[in-house]
Structure 1
Amino acid sequence: MSDLDGDDGVDRDAIEEQAIAWFMNLRAREPGADTSDLDAWLDQSADHRRAYERARYHFEASEILKSSARHGKKKPLHSRTFFLGLGIAAALALAIALGATFTSNQHLRTAINEEAAPARMRAPRHQIRAVALADGSDLTLDAASQIEVAMTRRERRIRLLEGKARIAVSADPRPFIVEAGSGELTANAASFDVDMAADGQIEVAVLSGEVELRRLLRPAVLERVAPKMQAGQSYGYLASDFTPIAVGQDDTDRRDWPNGWTEYHSAPLSEVIADANRYARQPIELDEPPLGNLLVSGRFHITDSDRFAERIASLFGLAAVHRQGAIHLRKR
């Protein structure tokens, strides 16, 4: 078994080569030609569908196949011989370019657009946004978060561009795939959080069901790296380096963040205020830095900045003063 074989015994290296061959074969056909043979191959397994979609994207994104100063404008080409030869050259160019495009924005705009262009959704600063998808799945975007969504007849796919999302996946024959940095999650009838921090740290936490976590090895091949994640489990990895590790639960309970609530257990006040300031139109500031070392315990509605600041002030005997566009906490 090769390094690219999955633990299910599937030779994904061979599937990749087949996907490239199918793609080049299709491009060599006349417009409107029968594609039932390709459809039959795609319907054999989800691995076939994923391999073909990724091969198609990378070939179409390749500089060999589009206009560039180096290669000139792309011209209509219909020669079957030309495309068979191009398959070898494009495959080589694809493999060389892959390492630089794993985490690029261009790569993560996956070519799954069969029915409609991917829709971009964003939650504005200071606000949590709930979105209902056409397939019955529900999304919740944290403040200043952004995603792309594409639904096709073969799969449902989301790309997390920035921030955090709660995803409740409805049951459906199509796989539900989430791209986040260098990793990819597949789920069905599951609920989980995906959090992409500004420093490139990504954390996946499963609330219900199970989630399969993978990394991209080559444009059309996926390898399972982490075991299937179960409810209550979390894994973390870097956006630029997919080496997932299990993440233990900390003392902060964020499971109800879509409703604006977080429960803290002996958390430094500075960290609690940093969380609240994600949603604050008027930032909360500590006039005396040592106040940040105070330990906070309790359940707080951190999206309501005024009430949050008042409650913190009451707990620690502080004064909450609105001044110069901010809420200042200071000793009385």
Structure 2
Amino acid sequence: MNEHAPERGVDQAAWWVARLDAPDCKASERAAFEDWLAQSPLHVEAWVRADAIHAAAAQLADDDLLRAAARKARREGRDAFAKRPGLRTWGWAAAASLAVVAGMLAWRLLPTPPTPEQRYATAVGEQRTIGLADGTTLLLDTGSAVTVRLGQGQREVDVDAGRVQLAVGDDPRPFLVRAGTTTIRDIGTTFQVCREGGATRVGLVDGAVIVSAPLPTGKVEQVRLSPGEQVAVQADAGFAPVEALDIAVAEGWTQGELVFKEHRLDALLAEANRYSTTKLTLADPTLAEITVSGVFRAGNQDALVSALERGWGLHARRIGPDEISLHR
């Protein structure tokens, strides 16, 4: 923690927003900010609110009333803290300004009514793009379902099943995504969440997110992702190590394509079967270990079968109206 920062969480968040925006902010201070952020989910929420207020205040720079209030707060902040030896009073003044701006923005944002809880879902083989009132865009993959709540003070999305990509709109309210016991706190970003059974996988395309989940011991663990990273969370085992996210693979399904790079055949078929009522199965379990690379159209099982026959020497046999079995 920076030695000049205040002690209360809300004040700390406002101080950090001001300090990180300063031209002379040092790498050591940014590292200290990362440490402070990881100490508690409450720090994350406080910082998200303060940063959103800071951004919203910038958008209202031409508001005479807001400018006057901010000037008054900065002046009073400098006077109040000038007697504290060793403190960088401009940071305290900026924090005081943010506090005043927060109150005014809360009043300005008050007329925006919350929206009723809404649920969206897709059928097998269907993808759906949903634009929310706050500017957020959701892209639901096949067989997926989400529940959305845009409240007065917070925006929430529950991933009930399947996979969704979220491009979060610019809005002062905090944005939280829940998938089972896993919570993702957005800090202005585009990311994907996949929920299957008791496992949740989060992949970050752009921006920053903090993923938190309870451990079997009851302690809450947090992982901060950078662009191009992903992490898996098991409900009964906690976090797996952070891995690299292949952006081409991650963005493939959003364009209706399945991108595979050295995938086991059984995993490839499991993914392809999500997009079609016609299921592909293996007649011989040893075929599962065959590795496949390629780009295939989601839902086009016939094209996938043809490619596997030509490129990997497999033979397809239809054994029912909704099943195709692959043989050597």
Tell me if both proteins adopt one fold, taking TM over 0.5 as the criterion: yes
Task: Give the Cα–Cα distance (whole angstroms) in 1 for the partners of residues 249 and 167 of structure 2.
Answer: 19
Partner of 1:143: 142
Query: CA–CA distance in 2 between the matches of 1:274 and 1:244?
Result: 23
Out of 297, 319, 323, which is 1:301 matched to?
297
Does the 8 Å contact 1:186/1:211 carry over to 2?
A: yes
Return the alpha-carbon distance in structure 2 between the equivalents of residues 250 and 313 of structure 1. Answer: 30
SS of the residue aligned with 1:246? coil
User: Residues 49, 172 of structure 1: CA spacing in aligned structure 2 closer, same or farther, 3 A cutoff?
Assistant: closer
Which protein, 1 or 2, shows the higher relative CO under an 8 Å CA cutoff with sep ≥ 6?
Answer: 1
In structure 2, the residue matched to 1:244 is: 239
- Which residue of the partner structure matches residue 122 of structure 2? 123
TM-score between both structures, scaled by the size of structure 1: 0.59
Whole-angstrom CA distance in 1 between matches of 2:139 and 2:182: 20
Map 1:6-25 → 2, pairs under 5 A: 10=8
Q: 2:207 aligns with which of 206, 209, 233?
A: 209
1:260 and 2:256 are equivalent in the alignment: yes
CA 10–239 in structure 1, closer or farther in 2 if over 3 Å, else same: farther
User: Residue 290 of structure 1 aligns to which amino acid in structure 2?
Assistant: T
Q: Go from structure 1 to structure 2 and tell me whether the alpha carbon gap of 1:289 and 1:225 turns closer, same or farther (over 3 Å shift).
A: closer
* Contact in 2 for aligned 1:194/1:205 (Cα 8 Å): yes
Give the Å deviation of 1:142: 2.0
Q: Which residue of 2 aligns with 1:328?
A: 325
Instruction: Answer yes or no: is 1:132 the counterpart of 2:124.
Output: no
Letter of the 1:233 partner, please give it: E
Unaligned runs of 5+ in 1: 2-6, 13-44, 51-113, 218-222
Question: In structure 2, do the counterparts of structure 1 residues 271 and 216 end up closer, same or farther at CA, with 3 Å as the change threshold?
Answer: closer
Q: TM-score, normalised by structure 2?
A: 0.59
Distance 2:244 2:313 in 1: 31
- Distance change (3 Å), C-alpha of 1:290 and 1:227: closer
* Contact kept? 1:261, 1:303, Cα under 8 Å: no
Change (3 A) 1:177 1:196: same
- Identity of aligned pairs, percent? 25
Aligned 8 A contact 1:122 1:147 in 2: yes
Higher helix share: 2
Contact 1:213 1:224 (8 Å CA) reproduced: no
1:75-114 to 2 correspondence within 5 Å?
none
How far, CA to CA, are the matches of 1:278 and 1:137 in structure 2? 26
| Alpha-carbon offset, residue 240 of structure 1 | 5.2
Q: Give per-residue Cα distances to partners, 1:44-95, cap 9 Å, x unaligned.
A: x955999xxxxxxxxxxxxxxxxxxxxxxxxxxxxxxxxxxxxxxxxxxxxx
3-state SS in 2 of match to 1:254: helix
Using the alignment, how far apart are the partners of 1:9 and 1:214 within structure 2? 24
How far the C-alpha of 1:212 sits from its partner, in A, is 2.2
Q: What do the CA deviations read for 1:255-274 (whole angstroms, capped 9, x no partner)?
A: 32222323222222121111
1:186 alignment partner in structure 2:
185
CA gap of 1:139–1:300, structure 2 versus 1, over 3 A, is same
Long gaps (5+) in structure 2? 11-43, 50-112
Q: CA RMSD in A?
A: 3.3
1:63-82 equivalences under 5 Å are none
Change (3 A) 1:211 1:250: closer
Aligned equivalent of 1:226: 222
Counterpart Cα distance in 2 of 1:188 and 1:133: 17
Measure, in 2, the Cα distance between the counterparts of 1:274 and 1:119.
30
**CA–CA separation in structure 1 for the residues paired with 2:305 and 2:273:** 11
Aligned to 2:157: 158
Aligned-residue offset at 1:284: 1.0
Contact 1:172 1:188 in 2 (8 A): no
Q: Return closer, same or farther for 1:192/1:250 CA change in 2, 3 Å cut-off.
A: closer
For these two proteins, the number of residue pairs brought into alignment is 224
Give the 3 Å change call, closer, same or farther, for CA 9–329 of structure 1 in structure 2: farther
| SS of equivalent residue, structure 1 residue 228 | strand
Post-superposition Cα deviations, 1:234-270, rounded to whole Å, max 9, x if no partner, equal 22223356x4343223889333222232322222212
Q: Which amino acid aligns with 1:177?
A: L
Change (3 A) 1:133 1:8: farther
Letter in 2 for 1:207: V
Q: CA deviation at 1:308?
A: 1.4
